[in-house]
Structure 1
Amino acid sequence: MGGGRSISTKKVINVNGRIDTLDYLRGFALMGIILVNIIPLLSVNLPSPSTKDVSYWMFLYLFVEGRFYTIFTFLFGVGFYIFITRANAKGKNGYVLFLRRMIALLIMGLVHVRFHPGEALMVYAICGLLILPFYKAHKVVNLVFGTAMLIVLTIFSFKLFMVIPLMLLGIAAGQFHLFEELTKKRNKIILFTSIMLGLSILGLIYQYQYAPIAFGNGSEVDFLMTQRFLNIGISIGPIISAFYVGLLVLLLQSSFFQKVLSPLKSYGRMALTNYISQTAFIYLAGNMLNLFNNITYIQSLYVCLTIYIIQLIFTTIWLHFFRFGPLEWIWRVVTYLETPPLRKRDKII
């Protein structure tokens, strides 16, 4: 039993550097998150009945809301496991480093929440500390407990509390080495993705049945229909998220899609910088163009597309010259209490 554990740990350590698939997934998740976050930040007006805005509103709450933050939270759990495991393997105290890492994240979250109420960093930092004991739990325990807790919380549409079980499932994924040697798991990934696709279709059909008919008429029936529609969306969110992850992982088995989606990988490598700068760009656009309370749903999409272009170009250029994103570098300095080289031409001592 002891020998098996050593081999398992060694597999993680032998993954040199970053796991590219996780960066692609982080970038993908971030691109979905901004589409939802921009709505309250700019106080986007509710769509008028029978307009294109209603169709986009429907698209957001069928395919985006509750789907991408789920992926991002799950990936936090995966990163949690990999970070501590690699730190311990290098002879460092992974727990102490992780505690400093979460304290730094909490401070950034406390600053960010002043501009973006409901932001994720502060919640992640607190939940990261709460799940620390689960690092030593058996992988089956984390899988079963995380799944059971997630099912219960999705039934009651408790979105905020879903963070912990999603992180536990991320830890379990790290313990099972889910994102290693993916080419050998292709058939299993296809089966998983196919099942999630079937369940997603059924869930979306069920959710769509409760779509508000006379949108925005202010009636009690319309309000109840809308609330039911949104709650079902939260409940089926993890299933659709799982399908998205499976599909993207399958696409990344192809070198063609790896090249086409390479900007997504850079975007995910600078996830912290891009997440916070999304808020900055939204406020910048809002102030410069007078968008607060004066923008439609479709127009919010145009703002997001513009931010995508700016961030993707900046991220690609930045990582051409530097090893880490600006905030990622600061996060690393606080975590390790040392100054790592930032420019690529600088040598690591």
Structure 2
Amino acid sequence: MESSTTVEVLTTESALAPVSEKERIQSIDVLRGIALLGILLMNIPSFSMPNYFSESFRSNPGDINFWVRTVIIIFFEGKMRALFSMVFGAGILLFISKKEKTAMSATWLFYRRMAWLVVFGLIHAHIILWSGDILYSYGLIGMIAFLFRKAAPKYLVWGVPIVTIIGFFTSTQFYQEIRTKRLDYLKVTAEKNAGKKLTAAQLKILTEWREIEKEFIPNKQDAVENTRIMKSDYKTIAAKIRKEAWKGQTTYFLYQISDPLALMLLGIALFKWGFLTCRWTRKQYIKVALIGYGIGLPLVLYDSYYAFYNFPTMAASLAHMDSHPIVWIDLIYPAQRIFLVMAHVSVILVLYKTGVIRSFLNRLAAVGQMAFTNYITHSVVCTLFFYGYGLNQFATFEYYQIFFVVFAIWIFQLIISPIWLRNFYFGPLEWLWRSLTYWKIQPMKKPA
């Protein structure tokens, strides 16, 4: 007979192991898969299109590109990232649920897991060369969200409106700093054009605005140069991408914390309430969907119309900045996004509960179970297809055509992910991440 000590050790080792297949919650894998594939819709233009690519069609309803962009903005923009953040928050509870019962340090394991995610994010940004990486920020923000894992859901959901207000004030402050420098620049430029000799302070104002231009508002010459760089060799592209990525990971990182954190906390709350795990009734999910679409769609449609009318070009956007110290319309974005993502999730979970398109949802679950591998695959494929050191297709497609690449990647991953998981326990990068987290080689291949 085994001793009680041996049983205790075996129980502890079992608890301090990755979530097994039987313990997975498939509805969450489905949602993660949808979010992952949807995020590629948002990322593909940055991989493939030059600066100001949308100015040629964003105010022309007669152009197919206008409608493709409009549909994506209304139904997907921001919503997929919000969904991914919510599922990430739920994943915190999934990771620690069994482990915290052992009296062992689930906290240490979780922070080691997040630390490795940060490392992967640095590799993703600086080696694979994707400046839009989220692994780095999610690793750090996940460490913060972990501290709230035991809070009551009713308190966690307050993070969304609180962060919305805080985010609006911080973004407005940033906007006003740039606006002040622009107004100073316009004043100095007028004096320069009038033939007045500029002081050292005025020359500094011109220099500061030029730096803002290069970073946020490239002029036509900058745009041409940026396209040239993206169609060149790895070293040249890396110099540009690494600079952008590093600024996002350092200088502007504080601006990135609040939104994902609030959505992760919302995900924790929704997990505790059983919303993400299909414990609500179909009637309840339908009610949430109706409310979400009933409020969210009018808001996003008005927001889109406002942008169509006021921001057709960068010149129009700058003119709007000159005359508007506060952009109140920005308050609509976080509201419409939450209403719509909740509606989207409700519809997906109704389909899941009813068993409709079960085979397709199983494929989405497989994509979600391999989300890390599939996310990095997006970047590897897109950089090699569009960047100069690969097939050099940057700035060669019309806007609507780049989504054929998206669809091809979707189809590939929807086919390959289930096949892979029939033979292996984890995706390749999921396996590596777990092995590093537990500091032990994890089993990979399933028995025949």
Q: TM class by shorter-chain length?
A: 0.7 to 0.9
Percent identity between the two aligned chains: 29
2:165 to 149, 152, 156: 152
Partners of 2:282 and 2:309 lie apart in 1 by 42
Q: Does residue 186 of structure 1 match 2:288?
A: no
Partner of 1:17: 23
Give the SS at the match of 2:444. coil
Unaligned runs of 5+ in 2: 1-18, 172-254, 322-326
Q: Where does the alignment leave 5 or more consecutive residues of structure 1 unmatched?
A: 1-12
Measure how far apart 1:206 and its partner are: 1.8
1:46 is aligned to: 54
TM-score (norm. length: structure 1):
0.86
1:73 aligns with 2:85: yes
**Range with bigger deviation, 125-134 or 48-57:** 48-57
* Greater mean deviation of Cα atoms: 92-101 or 231-240: 231-240
**Whole-angstrom CA distance in 1 between matches of 2:426 and 2:20:** 21
* Corresponding letter in the other structure for 1:168: L
- Which residue identity lines up with residue 149 of structure 1 in the other structure? I
User: Alignment partner for residue 147 of structure 2, among 133, 143, 146?
Assistant: 133
Over 3 Å counting, the alpha-carbon distance change for 1:156 and 1:267 in structure 2 is: farther
1:234 is displaced (CA, Å) by 4.7
Q: Counterparts in 2 of 1:156-305, with a 5 A limit?
A: 160=256, 161-180=258-277, 182=279, 185-213=281-309, 216-220=312-316, 224=320, 232-287=332-387, 288-305=390-407
With over 3 angstroms needed to count, the CA separation of the structure-2 counterparts of 1:222 and 1:247, relative to structure 1, is farther
Letter in 1 for 2:29: D
Per the alignment, do residues 290 and 130 of structure 1 end up closer, same or farther by CA in structure 2, a change over 3 Å counting?
same
Please point out which of 127, 130, 139 is paired with 1:116. 130
Whole-angstrom CA distance in 2 between matches of 1:290 and 1:231: 39
Q: Quick one: which of 100, 117, 125 aligns to 1:88?
A: 100
Q: Please give the TM-score of this superposition, normalised by the length of structure 2.
A: 0.68
Counterparts of 1:192 and 1:32, CA distance in 2? 21
Instruction: Tell me by how many angstroms 1:98 deviates.
Output: 0.3
Q: 1:179 to 1:295 in 2, by over 3 A?
A: same
> For 1:315 and 1:332, how far apart are their aligned partners in 2?
18
Q: Does 1:32 align with 2:46?
A: no
Alignment-mate amino acid for residue 87 of structure 2: L
Q: Which amino acid aligns with 1:274?
A: N
Q: Aligned partners of 2:341 and 2:146: how far apart in 1? A: 24
C-alpha contact 1:154 1:235 (8 A) present in aligned 2: no
CA distance in 1, matches of 2:347, 2:292: 10
Q: Say if 1:109 and 1:122, in contact at 8 Å, map to a contact too.
A: yes
Q: Give the aligned residue type for 2:54.
A: L
Aligned residues: 331
Q: Does 1:308 align with 2:407?
A: no
Larger radius of gyration: 2
Output the CA distance in 2 between the equivalents of 1:215 and 1:221.
Answer: 5
Alpha carbons of 1:180 and 1:264: their partners in 2 closer, same or farther (altered >3 Å)? closer
Tell me if the contact between 1:101 and 1:331 (Cα under 8 Å) persists in the aligned partners. yes
C-alpha RMSD of the superposition = 2.7
Contact 2:55/2:313 (8 A) holds in 1: no
| Alignment partner, residue 443 of structure 2 | 341
Separation in 2, partners of 1:113, 1:96: 26
| Contact 2:27–2:278, Cα closer than 8 Å, also in 1 | no
Is the CA contact (8 Å cut-off) linking 1:193 and 1:242 kept in structure 2?
A: yes
